[in-house]
Amino acid sequence: MRDRTAVLCTTLALLVMSGSHAWGEERTNDGTGGTQAVCRHPSPIHLRPTSDSRQLDLCSQGETMTTHCYVDNGADLWLRVSPVAEVLGYINLDNVEVKNWNQLSRCAR
């Protein structure tokens, strides 16, 4: 029984490790330090417009941001984000390319 449990734990660990890669896999580098990624993250990170229409706040809902990966409601969002955005806590729209823009939802204020 102990051997069977060890095999099960090892198998689960391998599944978790292989599955987590799909949540934040880098696809390209744009040459400026930003990356383009597609993400499926188990705990979605929400984006909201700020008073400056050129920026979006990052609302992480208590989660650590996955580098360069933002997804809402299970939909894949392709973003090109400057690393500076993660330090400042917002995305300047001059530095981001978004597809499926209508999938972005507002955070509860």
Is there a domain that residue 18 lies in? no
Instruction: Let me know if residue 4 belongs to a domain.
Output: no
- Span 81-106, pLDDT tens digits: 444 444 444 444 444 444 443 334 33
Terminal-residue alpha carbon distance, the chain: 51
Strand partners, 47: 58
Within-domain flag for 108: no
> What pTM, to 2 d.p., does this model score?
0.20
Query: Tens digit of pLDDT for each residue in 21-57?
Result: 333 333 444 444 443 333 333 334 444 444 544 444 4
Angle among Cα 109, 48, 56 to the nearest 5 degrees reads 130
In a domain, 1, yes or no: no
Q: Is 17 domain-assigned?
A: no
**Tally of domains in the chain:** 1
Which residues, including other chains, have CB under 8 Å from residue 106's CB and lie 6 or more apart? Answer: 46, 48, 49
Domain that holds residue 58: 23-103
